[in-house]
A and B are shown apart, each in its own frame.
Chain A
Amino acid sequence: MISEGKKRIWNEYQKEIADDHYFYVRSCVRQNFFPGSEKTFLKIMQHELGKDVYENPSHTTCTGIGYHSDIVPFETAMTVIARQFALMTEAGYENLVTSCITSFGLYSEVLETWHHFPELLQKIRMHLKNATGREFNIPKNLAHASDLIYKFRNNIAAKSTNRLINKQTGKPLKAVEHIGCHYSKMFPSKGVGGAEYPYVLIGMIEEWGGEVIDYPERRHCCGFGFRQYLVMANRGYSIACSRKKFESMEPYKPDLILTNCPGCPMFFDRWQYAISEMEGKTYGENDHGIPVLTYEELSGLILGYDPWDLGLQVHQVAVEPLLDKIGVQYNPLEKYQGIDHKDLGKPNMPSILKFY
């Protein structure tokens, strides 16, 4: 009986994730800071898993960062999103996958709003028609890109060449996971595991051999806070949030931080650098930081992709300590090279943080 009850409760935390044929919308932050991650996501979906993922070059930002910094009105954001739905409809797709958590949260907010206020849906249809002549269907299935990697984590494991195991000790590597506030805090039913048991990243870590660390500030925000980072005068808020998390996770000696949202890894990566410059403090071993990975980058490492193809060279916190623990083969001399081994020089060294 107890087991049945648990199954019933757990069912409430599941979400339906379409099996194939996705209309793909990109992330502003991921494209700017982690371009290799989007490249890797499509490579895994299309080439490793044989899935149909379509991108229309005419899709744009959803305006999410502008919306959540309050310069973009809600009706404007809704109509821009309606235009993405129109492009999806015109291309014959019904499942939409976003590369961004801010987008995913905003798409969810828009769909929920239309559900509760159908008159507003009609108004937005009229706005879109007036502005662009386009019409749209509402997607049957909305997923975040990590939902798909989660769904196919077993298939990825079956093709893996690396595991989240310390090659020297044979022990599981310890991972901190950070799912990003807008994944399921607003609409728990839209995320795998909801807001109480967000399982999307845990599922990947456990399937690929790692161990998940529970720590006090696990669900605290990374500190983006939109306007709290965008305006220089406000950034104390942003760095303070990240620092609170680093201090809380440090005693557990994590081997990596795994992230869901495009923004969070950028903040965890850059704020570790900034804290090292400001306070001389580093959170990893031997003056290194704690490597921060996107789930696409981790998937790529598990599949044996070259770390410099994944874009790990554009991280400010060096990833080599993690690569060495996993036993990933890489050529340090190629880290900062362009195509055809073009010499691009090297970034300057930070004052404290060990870098390369």
Chain B
Amino acid sequence: MGQLYDKLKQDVRFVEGLKACINCGTCTAICPAAEFYNYQPRLITDILQTKDEDKIEKLLKSDTIWYCGECMSCVTRCPRGNAPGLLITALRSLSQELGYFVESEKGRQQLAIKRTVGKWILEYGYCLFPPEIIPENHPEQGPVWEWELKNIEDVMARLGANYKQTGAGILRKIPDEALDELKRIFDETGGTERFRKIEEYSKAKAGEMGISFGEGLDNDYIKHIYTTNSNLHTKNDDI
């Protein structure tokens, strides 16, 4: 058996997600991503079942594995107990471990997610926090969110939040000791290492692409990966 397939088999989600695909295509029929992108979860299981190293490597470097929305609708419907959505989580993990994610437009976006959601998890203890959801990046949030942000302390107080305060409650300040524990869990379990790899491989890729790289969100590489859409994803025959 090949090296990549063996690595995938070490992930319990891969073991749980791939039984024996009969290629019926039910997963593709129910899949929201398949309706939007040129994407078929059926092909993911099909390729993985071949155990072909070249095909798996191509998959790990493709846009294809980043099209899934992880809604897991496929899990309910597979008549053979496969879970293409879970296979995607295992493929994405391996793609990041090996640095293959930077080889595709959609994969490169991982840095933007790491520098937003990833940063906020460790900084605030929440996956998102109001001042970070800025209208410039979120025009869909509309005028009501702009109004809310402008009056955030008052609106949160009016609605009974404990915004940035100590003690229990909505959007409380999570104690520093709790944030320290969160950080130590990331150090202990590979979370910090994943973040480091996302940074390291992205920096190298930015150099290769000749796009300037820097800290935070205000640099060309982040802006590029956050907004670039080749518009080929609904047509692309990547895999």
Contact = CB atoms under 8 A, between A and B. Distances in A.
B178 A241 contact: no
A32 interface: yes
A58 interface: yes
B33 A225 contact: yes
A137 B157 CA distance: 35
Interface stretch (A146-154, A157-165, A216-224): A216-224
A195 B76 contact: yes
A314 B155 contact: yes
A233 interface: yes
Interface string B88-100: 0100110010000
Interface in B78-125: 89, 92-93, 96, 106, 109-110, 112-114, 116-118, 121, 125
Nearest to A235: B140
Contact of A32 (B33, B129, B143, B191): B129
Secondary structure type dominating chain B contacts? helix
A181 B72 contact: yes
A347 interface: yes
Contacts of A207: none
A315 B144 contact: yes
A57 B127 contact: no
Contact of A226 (B69, B171, B191): B69
A38 B181 CA distance: 25
A221 B73 contact: yes
A69 interface: yes
Contact of B126 (A31, A233, A240): A31
B72 A186 contact: yes
B158 interface: yes
A86 to B, nearest CB: 10
A57 B12 contact: no
A347 B144 contact: yes
B228 interface: yes
B125 A61 contact: yes
A237 interface: yes
A122 interface: no
Given A71-B113, A71-B198, A113-B12, A270 B140 contact: yes
Contacts of A127: 185, 188-189
B55 to A, nearest CB: 21
A178 to B, nearest CB: 12
B167 to A, nearest CB: 6
B194 A72 contact: yes
Contacts of A128: 185
Interface in B127-160: 127-130, 133, 137, 139-148, 150-151, 154-160
Nearest to A33: B145
Contacts of B16: 113, 116
Given A70-B96, A76-B189, A116-B16, A225 B32 contact: yes
Interface centre among A35, A223, A241 (most CB of B within 10 A): A35
B72 A182 contact: yes
| Most A C-beta atoms less than 10 A away, residue of B11, B112, B140, B226 | B140
Chain A binding site: helix, strand, loop or mixed by DSSP?
Answer: helix
A349 interface: yes
A185 B73 contact: yes
Contacts of A339: 154, 157-158
A36 B161 CA distance: 8
Contacts of B181: 83, 131-132
B186 to A, nearest CB: 6
B175 interface: yes
B120 to A, nearest CB: 9
Interface in B161-195: 161, 166-172, 174-175, 177-179, 181-182, 184-191, 194-195
A5 to B, nearest CB: 23
Contacts of A223: 32, 69
Nearest to A26: B170
A68 B170 CA distance: 23
A72 B69 contact: no
Given A73-B190, A74-B89, A347-B144, A32 B171 contact: yes
Contact of A35 (B113, B125, B161, B184): B161
Nearest to B136: A232
B75 interface: yes
B66 interface: yes
A224 B71 CA distance: 8
B155 A233 contact: no
Nearest to A78: B189
B70 interface: yes
Given A32-B129, A69-B117, A338-B157, A316 B144 contact: yes
A270 B141 contact: yes
Nearest to B179: A60
11 contacts: A32-B133, A35-B160, A35-B171, A55-B168, A59-B178, A71-B117, A74-B93, A120-B12, A231-B113, A233-B229, A344-B147
Which 6 residue pairs across A and B have the least CB separation, nearest first?
A225-B69, A76-B191, A347-B147, A39-B160, A338-B154, A65-B127
